[in-house]
Amino acid sequence: DAKTTQPTSMDCAEGRAANLPCNHSTISGNEYVYWYRQIHSQGPQYIIHGLKNNETNEMASLIITEDRKSSTLILPHATLRDTAVYYCIAGETGTASKLTFGTGTRLQVTL
């Protein structure tokens, strides 16, 4: 899996958009960009993933640059419950494909 680089921590005011960046400059053509988050003492929760195009679902939006070397996860209206560690992972799809976690970004949403 390609290595990803994320800021160690970020703060965001409640109600504002949280923009979490990720660099994956060595991503290969068949690797997707996945985002997961982990709230303390729980298993990681899937957020969103994409290959080339920007993606949006009920949780977040994923913006991938045209060269695919970086991406941004956007939580449009952050709430206190969004406080978690967010992991950006570059990996292949398929039931036999494992994902390698980096250190992630600790997002703190404040009042």
Partner 1 sequence: GAVVSQHPSWVICKSGTSVKIECRSLDFQATTMFWYRQFPKQSLMLMATSNEGSKATYEQGVEKDKFLINHASLTLSTLTVTSAHPEDSSFYICSATRPETEKLFFGSGTQLSVL
Q: Total number of residues binding partner 1 (CB under 8 A)?
A: 24
**Considering only residues 57-86, where is the footprint of partner 1 by CB under 8 A?**
none
Distance (Å, whole) CA 33 – CA 12: 23
**Considering only residues 22-61, where is the footprint of partner 1 by CB under 8 A?**
32, 34, 36, 38, 41-46, 49
Cβ at position 42, least distance to partner 1 in Å: 6
Q: Which residues bind partner 1 (CB under 8 A)?
A: 32, 34, 36, 38, 41-46, 49, 87, 93-104
